[in-house]
Structure 1
Amino acid sequence: MTANSYLEYFLVLFGWVMNNALWGILSNTGLFALPLVFKVLGVWLKVREEGADEGNKGLLALPRIEHAIYVSYLVILFCCIPLLPVDISTIKFDSARAKQCGISVPTPQNSGYKGLVNDFGGRTAEVPMWWYLLHMMSKGTTQAMIASIPCGTQLRQMRFDVQNTKLRDPVLLQEVQDFANQCYSRAYFRLKNSNSQLSDATINSVGWIGSDYFLNTSDYYDDYTSMTPRRQWPYDDSRDSGYADTGQGGYPTCKTWWSDSSVGLRKRVLESFSDSTRKEMQRQFPGSQWEEPALRWLVSPRNAGLSGSGVTYIAGRGDTASGIGNSLSRFTSTIGLGMKQVEALPGFDALKQALPMIQALLQMMIIIVIPVQVMFSAYEPKTIVTISFALFALQFITFWWELAGWLDDRLITILYSSLAASGLASGVPIADFLSSPRDGWIMNLVLGMMYVVFPGFWVGMLGWVGVKIGGIAEGFIKGGAQAQQAGQEGGAMAGEAVKSGVKRIL
């Protein structure tokens, strides 16, 4: 038995533990036999309602009662009685897809679920034969279909990880604020007053404190220095003349302050990302291509405010209505509208994270109530077929989410490539996506349809098929019972005819 998510890894076992407990209650109290009594009573009453031309009442009732009891017994044997033992070591977390796409995924024992592994270490459940086989068949079919999908880049997952990283260190957060006030604001003010027109690429570059334009253009970050001492750099008389030597450090240039390879602000801010996020970004973006879009978000005014600082920096507060001021006003207005849209829309990234959890919880719920559902249906095969289709449909949803993720990657690449071609982005589609505050209403609607509507339509369609096939199976069994009864009646009539013929001969 395999599982596709950490939560499913534990909830499947827990569901079968509760399933065994519920079946134990029904069997120990004798309640499981109550539907059989009512079924036999129903057959007897139905036979009593038959007309006198139906023949002997006893011969008519006996095969029907036997057939009802035999079918119910088979349902109980294969679908209710726990037979195959399962524990936490038997269930395996399926990492085949991760290995296929070269993604490093820790085992549940090495993840944050380690405590649950210990809690479930001594728990053992037993699974009825039919549901064990159904689980294996469903997971096997699902994994085979998933393996046929090309590997994607999981762009939304990467953006979710990047945009949920915060500057937790208040000292580092304050230093980012100081850099924005002492370097970025001064460089931005000089740029605004010395240029009347800028290209779109330059406007995009100067939109954050680590701007390549300010770092690589003379008279900006190479000219301005920190206005307060920095412990990471010792006091230098040639560089820091005019500043007081307080013994608390020197006054590095803004370029050194940001770009120093050992203690620079850029390096220390990058260390705020988790190891898993950095590895995934490095796997997708060779070299250091991932650093700028990730840093753009991490030191952005909005993220700085979410990280705990009550004050955030903003550029161009004194802009005029023409030239660069007008261009930057439009740029910041676009970002503002994007932020409002993000706040107004449902959290699609969070929804993607929550859906497998909901799937595991629903699967656990169905597993727990199987004994009650089967008992209340009087052990009808139709109920078994319907529940089987429901479980298969629920487990197969994983394939639709994998397919939706691959399609989403392709659509994102196409969208941001077209934006870059039209001059509305910097030209690196994936980098633009990681630092983008919005995707547009159409992209969000398409994403919602792929992750929610696809599975919903699939479950509804397969549920309808399950009900229909369950009805066909029930009719087939009833047809077999009627054929058996007709055969017995025909045999009895043939016997009577033979007896009467023999008497006449004698």
Structure 2
Amino acid sequence: MDVGSAIEIYTSVLGWMLYDRIWETLTDTGLVYLPFIGLVVKNFAKPYVAQGANGAAETSIRMMEMDLIAMFTVAALAGAPMITLKIGDLGHTTPCGGPSVTGANTRTTYDQAFAAIGGQTAVVPVWWYGVLAIASGINEAVIASVPCTADIRTLDYRLDNTRIQDPELRRQVQLFANDCWLPARSKFLARHDALPAGYPPDDIDWMGSRYFQDTNGYYGNGNLNLALRASEEIPGFSYDAARDTEYQAGFIPINGRPECKTWWQDGVNGLRRRLLATIDPDVLTQSVADARATNPTETATSVEDALIRKLFEQERGQLAAPANRSDGSTPSIWSQFTNELTGTVSGAGLTFEYLTWQPKLYALRQAAPIGQSFILMAIYLLLPFVLVFSSFSLGTMLFLSIVLFALKFCTAIWSLATWLDTNMIRALGLEWWKYQYDVELGTATLVANLAAGLTFVVIPLVWFMLLGWAGYQLGNGLNAAVKNTIDPAASGADRGARMASNISTRGFSSLISRGK
């Protein structure tokens, strides 16, 4: 049987194991038989009070026939454990051709966390096993009908939470910002230059600026003596006597001080290549595919630059206190520029809104299957009490069946919601792999986030309300049908008893009269 998530494999078996223990306890203590005793007392007492001694027995027997049939049916099908369930009998298949896993081998941390129940088994009543099997089959059919698409929300979350983990790489990024980018940007602003056509208006606002790379006098310079270079020796870049003239004759350092353009673009040790390597390959592949779907002329290089730019913006706060130069000084222009740009973005309110919604939606999506599995487990272990306290009501059994089906079907609803969320992001023109700074794009992002919350929360709530109402009506209708079946029989027995009583009374009176 397939379940909605890897954790549900373990919570399902645990829930039914507890069900077995509770059912066994109720049986051993005799509490499970109390509804039957109550049925006998009720069906004898009620006709006796209503009809007196005449005809009460026959009416009681007819009323008990239908009640006992219904109660024994519920107790046998939905109460008594019958079908063995093991961890290995349950599995989970990731949609759209994803991997399939089974219990005790989900390749997740759940295998170790729930190892204590790995070798144990549970026994499930026939009715509930059938309900869960049907629900799983319907889920699989619906999920298979949903078109396959990349989960952009998850990929975006991974990208937003990517950070530079290598201390040496972080140090080099700080040095590059101090030695190359900020001096180049200051030079550009001091000359009051204008960006040529073909460069985005914010191109110079990050250290991978294409203009600074393409234009002589910024990251690169035909005159090595005037070129912007690293202020320290950089591992991976060899010493060049024509370039690294700071050293005394005869001294050859282990590493050299590369020119900014080489430092950024080198295909082996360059910062661009190393920063790109920190980004999830799935994110890189999907972002290139989405970019080309929007604009067929988009190049992989421009998309890669956009991803590195977004990583840079996310790290900006951590880089706000750059490493000191070799002479111990720290350029103040970095802090000035950081405060200026941060103030602009904060004024638009875009960064705050985005960072507030994104982790919440991701956490909601991750927690939803876990919460679903816990709720199902709680229902499983509470079923014995509900069945006994409801006197093995057929209507209650059907109502609970609909509740279980509704909870299980949430897996299919969330699969559809994921597809809708991904395509809403695309439909609103959100280039999720880019750093978003435009206010209109911020509005579109907010709309996409609100739509995601609607599909993942409100639609399941509406589904529960509709199906709960249907289940309630079904239970009431079934109880009414049973009642309508019993009442005519009881009324008929009552009328028959009265007729027999009247006939016997008249006959007895006639005999007395003749005797006189």
TM-score bin, normalised by smaller chain: 0.7 to 0.9
Q: Deviations over 1:21-60 (max 9, x none)?
A: 22122122221112222232222222222134x9511111
Cα drift, residue 290 of structure 1: 5.1
Q: Would the alpha carbon gap of residues 114 and 462 (structure 1) be closer, same or farther in structure 2, given more than 3 Å must change?
A: same
131, 151, 155: which is aligned to 2:152? 155
1:181 matched residue in structure 2: 178
Task: Give the aligned residue type for 1:372.
Answer: F
117, 120, 139: which is aligned to 1:120? 117
Task: Give the aligned residue type for 1:98.
Answer: C
Q: 1: distance between equivalents of 2:168 and 2:71?
A: 70
1:399 matched residue in structure 2: 412
Q: Is the 8 A contact 1:297 1:435 kept in 2?
A: no
1:236 matched residue in structure 2: 240
Structural mapping, 1:141-290, within 5 Å = 141-198=138-195, 201-223=199-221, 224-242=228-246, 247-274=253-280
Q: CA RMSD in A?
A: 3.5
Cα drift, residue 276 of structure 1: 5.8
1:94 matched residue in structure 2: 93
Q: 2: distance between equivalents of 1:487 and 1:470?
A: 26
Q: Does 1:365 pair with 2:378?
A: yes
- Worse-superposed segment, 457-466 or 288-297: 288-297
Cα drift, residue 106 of structure 1: 7.2
Q: Would the alpha carbon gap of residues 209 and 26 (structure 1) be closer, same or farther in structure 2, given more than 3 Å must change?
A: farther
2:457 matched residue in structure 1: 452
Cα drift, residue 381 of structure 1: 1.2
- Worse-superposed segment, 220-229 or 291-300: 291-300
- Worse-superposed segment, 128-137 or 220-229: 220-229
Cα drift, residue 176 of structure 1: 1.7
Rg bigger for which structure? 2
1:31 matched residue in structure 2: 31
1:389 matched residue in structure 2: 402
Task: Give the aligned residue type for 2:19.
Answer: N
Q: 1: distance between equivalents of 2:139 and 2:177?
A: 51
Q: Secondary structure at the match of 2:96?
A: helix
Q: Would the alpha carbon gap of residues 288 and 29 (structure 1) be closer, same or farther in structure 2, given more than 3 Å must change?
A: farther
* Gapped regions of structure 1 (runs ≥ 5): 320-324, 418-428, 500-506
Q: Secondary structure at the match of 2:84?
A: strand
Cα drift, residue 279 of structure 1: 6.4
Q: Deviations over 1:406-429 (max 9, x none)?
A: 222222112226xxxxxxxxxxx3
Q: Secondary structure at the match of 2:263?
A: helix
1:322 matched residue in structure 2: none
1:432 matched residue in structure 2: 434
Q: 1: distance between equivalents of 2:173 and 2:254?
A: 18
Task: Give the aligned residue type for 1:431.
Answer: W
Q: Would the alpha carbon gap of residues 240 and 73 (structure 1) be closer, same or farther in structure 2, given more than 3 Å must change?
A: same
Q: Would the alpha carbon gap of residues 267 and 13 (structure 1) be closer, same or farther in structure 2, given more than 3 Å must change?
A: farther
Q: Is the 8 A contact 1:83 1:126 kept in 2?
A: yes
Q: Is the 8 A contact 1:176 1:299 kept in 2?
A: no
Q: Would the alpha carbon gap of residues 272 and 435 (structure 1) be closer, same or farther in structure 2, given more than 3 Å must change?
A: farther
Q: 2: distance between equivalents of 1:359 and 1:29?
A: 32
Q: Is the 8 A contact 2:91 2:101 kept in 1?
A: no
Q: Would the alpha carbon gap of residues 246 and 317 (structure 1) be closer, same or farther in structure 2, given more than 3 Å must change?
A: same
1:422 matched residue in structure 2: none
Structural mapping, 1:301-312, within 5 Å = 302-303=314-315, 305=317, 311=321
Q: Would the alpha carbon gap of residues 480 and 282 (structure 1) be closer, same or farther in structure 2, given more than 3 Å must change?
A: farther
Q: Would the alpha carbon gap of residues 397 and 488 (structure 1) be closer, same or farther in structure 2, given more than 3 Å must change?
A: same
Q: Does 1:476 pair with 2:489?
A: no
Task: Give the aligned residue type for 2:242.
Answer: S
1:138 matched residue in structure 2: 135
2:76 matched residue in structure 1: 77
Q: Would the alpha carbon gap of residues 380 and 205 (structure 1) be closer, same or farther in structure 2, given more than 3 Å must change?
A: same
TM normalised by structure 1 equals: 0.82
Q: Would the alpha carbon gap of residues 139 and 435 (structure 1) be closer, same or farther in structure 2, given more than 3 Å must change?
A: farther
Q: Would the alpha carbon gap of residues 275 and 12 (structure 1) be closer, same or farther in structure 2, given more than 3 Å must change?
A: farther
1:4 matched residue in structure 2: 4
Q: Is the 8 A contact 2:3 2:90 kept in 1?
A: yes
Cα drift, residue 470 of structure 1: 0.9
Q: 1: distance between equivalents of 2:147 and 2:436?
A: 22
* Gapped regions of structure 2 (runs ≥ 5): 222-227, 293-299, 324-331, 505-516
Q: Would the alpha carbon gap of residues 344 and 285 (structure 1) be closer, same or farther in structure 2, given more than 3 Å must change?
A: closer
Q: 1: distance between equivalents of 2:99 and 2:60?
A: 64
Q: Is the 8 A contact 1:88 1:117 kept in 2?
A: no
Q: Would the alpha carbon gap of residues 411 and 204 (structure 1) be closer, same or farther in structure 2, given more than 3 Å must change?
A: farther
- Worse-superposed segment, 108-117 or 378-387: 108-117
Q: 1: distance between equivalents of 2:436 and 2:366?
A: 17
TM normalised by structure 2 equals: 0.81
Q: 2: distance between equivalents of 1:335 and 1:246?
A: 51
Q: Does 1:380 pair with 2:393?
A: yes
Q: Would the alpha carbon gap of residues 25 and 254 (structure 1) be closer, same or farther in structure 2, given more than 3 Å must change?
A: farther
Q: Would the alpha carbon gap of residues 175 and 288 (structure 1) be closer, same or farther in structure 2, given more than 3 Å must change?
A: same
Percent identity of paired positions between Structure 1 and Structure 2: 26
Q: 2: distance between equivalents of 1:254 and 1:336?
A: 33
Q: 2: distance between equivalents of 1:32 and 1:279?
A: 60
Q: Secondary structure at the match of 2:88?
A: coil
Q: Does 1:299 pair with 2:304?
A: no
Cα drift, residue 440 of structure 1: 4.0
Structural mapping, 1:337-348, within 5 Å = 337-345=349-357, 347-348=360-361
Q: Is the 8 A contact 2:361 2:453 kept in 1?
A: yes
Tell me the matched-pair count.
474
Q: Would the alpha carbon gap of residues 276 and 407 (structure 1) be closer, same or farther in structure 2, given more than 3 Å must change?
A: closer
Q: Does 1:64 pair with 2:63?
A: yes
Cα drift, residue 318 of structure 1: 5.6
Cα drift, residue 347 of structure 1: 1.7
Cα drift, residue 149 of structure 1: 1.9
Q: Deviations over 1:113-144 (max 9, x none)?
A: 33146443202111111111111111211221
Q: Secondary structure at the match of 2:85?
A: strand
Cα drift, residue 203 of structure 1: 2.4
Q: 2: distance between equivalents of 1:368 and 1:208?
A: 57
Q: Is the 8 A contact 1:232 1:249 kept in 2?
A: yes
- Worse-superposed segment, 84-93 or 67-76: 67-76
Q: 2: distance between equivalents of 1:55 and 1:360?
A: 55
